[in-house]
Structure 1
Amino acid sequence: DGEPIQGKDIPLEKASGLEIIDSGANNWKRGQSWTEVMGSVKRHIAAWERGEDMDQDPVMKTKHLANAAWGLFSILTYYSTQPEYDDRDHSYLRPKRIGLDIDEVLCNWVGDWTDKFDMQTPTSWYFDRDILERFETMKKKNELDKFFLSLKPLVKPKDIPFEPHCYITSRPVDASVTEQWLSDHGFPARPVHTVGVGKSKVDIAKKQKLDIFVDDGYHNFLALNKAGICCYLMDAPHNRRYDVGHKRIRSLSELKL
């Protein structure tokens, strides 16, 4: 102990923790973070790019490229010898809060509704002038909840590449009906927030601190993006007149996470 360690004096199997930033005895024993070692690699490469070949460190006294190569070798061995020192800013350490609409994102509400009332596939959001009246009539006949429970899924839960933080939907039924539908079809049991038909989803999205939301309604897409919440527009015939660039998606797997 106390004697400087030269790279050539360290067995290869013990090289993973070689100190390059601040050379000193037994640095490999105490271990170093991956970013420390990579920082040293970058320093040596930068020196080489400036035209400096030899490291003037009194301990190292070797070529900069040799030290850089040694550092890269050290990091490669870290994968098996010292994974606990991996201090990189992995994206999985910062999971995004993603909220989902239900109708036309997870289930085929428009298709089942137009089939029920013998309508054409709509090319506009405002396709049913009598929709509120139909809701009331179905509610009086105890048919409304049954209709929403019978909706066909548009996506399989296993194909969703993330766990949603919550669902925000605008429906004329209680949240418990939506929860039952989600459960029946195996979707993640996350909180369901229901806003009144035609009401804004912005306040709930902000309260839930969402990073991303997915909706098929262009009005919701606009409101959420204007409020600073990244909203993607799920492609549907009724919203194809709008050019939203890269924020139009055709499946949840297209989200940039």
Structure 2
Amino acid sequence: MKEKLYIIKIGGALIDDEELLEQFLEQFAEIQEKKILVHGGGKLATTLADKLGIEQKLVNGRRITDKDTLDIVAMVYAGGINKNIVAKLQQKKCKAIGFSGADANLIKAKKREHAEIDFGFVGDITEKSVNRKLISKLLKLELVPVFSAITHDKKGHLFNTNADTIASVIAQALSVKYDVELLYCFDKEGVLEDVNNPESVIKNISEEEFSILKEDGKLHKGILPKLENALGAVKNNVNKVFLIKETELKNHIENHHAGTEICL
């Protein structure tokens, strides 16, 4: 029987709210099973870029990570945010250890290729990008890895990589060894059929149902990357995947009643 492992991803809105982050980390620290935390960024990188006069470049609504922007996000995500979370978890007697993908070659990425757009220092990853053996050794030592959304190519370049994708591919890689449950924590009760009605939580979403909801325009564009990565995890042997409200982590761990479950 495989040992239980929770892989939990949090986003920028939670990181930007110090009180909510504190509450979440209290609940995270109480999880007795093996666990990994993956975090995105917050507004700090944008705020810092504005202060430094570095323009944020968008092409067709997509962010371009040039060298100046990369320097900022690496400093903020892998530096300030990551170490702040690690310090708070240490305070709660959780043996957290912070990483970027470059550390010990834990996540190796490939520069995103696009026929028309150069996204700059944006890295794409798959399940094979993850150093499964080393992460497993860290878990065996009762350490709690905390991953920022920074990866590398083993050629001396750092990349900005989607944190939802990082959580998904780590879950896929470790599902060979562990009974993995992947949790995407965000500011809604789950995936909502009506974004204006917090009680309209969809309890289960399959790939077919996702396609229908997407086609009908019922899904907010911000939720799409989470759902796409969640489905990718389920299709690649991750045992359970949920989208839950960040304040419901403890309730979900204990009762499995919260949020939206992603299924085949």
TM-score class normalised by the smaller sequence: 0.3 to 0.5
| Larger Cα-atom Rg | 1
TM-score, scaled to structure 2: 0.32
TM-score, normalization: structure 1? 0.33
* Larger RCO of the pair (alpha carbons < 8 Å, separation 6+): 2
Q: Considering fraction of residues, name the structure with more strand.
A: 2
